[in-house]
Amino acid sequence: MSQAISVRLDEEAVRALKRLEATGMTRSEAIRSALVDAAARLHDQRALAAESAALEADEVDRTEMLAVTELMERLRAPW
């Protein structure tokens, strides 16, 4: 089911739309693709933030990361 909408684009958005249209996309395809991509990036950022927070809260993992960091520092060549 399609739904028509109306938007007002500023100069930056118009330039971006023209770049997308230059690839051969129709105006509608470009706008749909941009919306879907933006939503996916937002979802990915939230998922990454949640994963990062879970790792940060994992004391066993943090202890292991610190041990590896300390080992790498000891093995590092002197300047």
pLDDT at 13: 96
pLDDT at 66: 93
- pTM assigned to the model: 0.59
How far from each other are the two terminal CA atoms of the chain, in whole angstroms? Answer: 64
pLDDT tens per residue across span 6-63: 999 999 999 999 999 999 999 999 999 999 999 999 999 999 999 889 988 999 999 9
Please answer whether residues 29 and 21 qualify as being in contact, where contact means their C-beta atoms are separated by less than 8 angstroms. no
34: CB partners within 8 A, 6+ apart: 16, 20
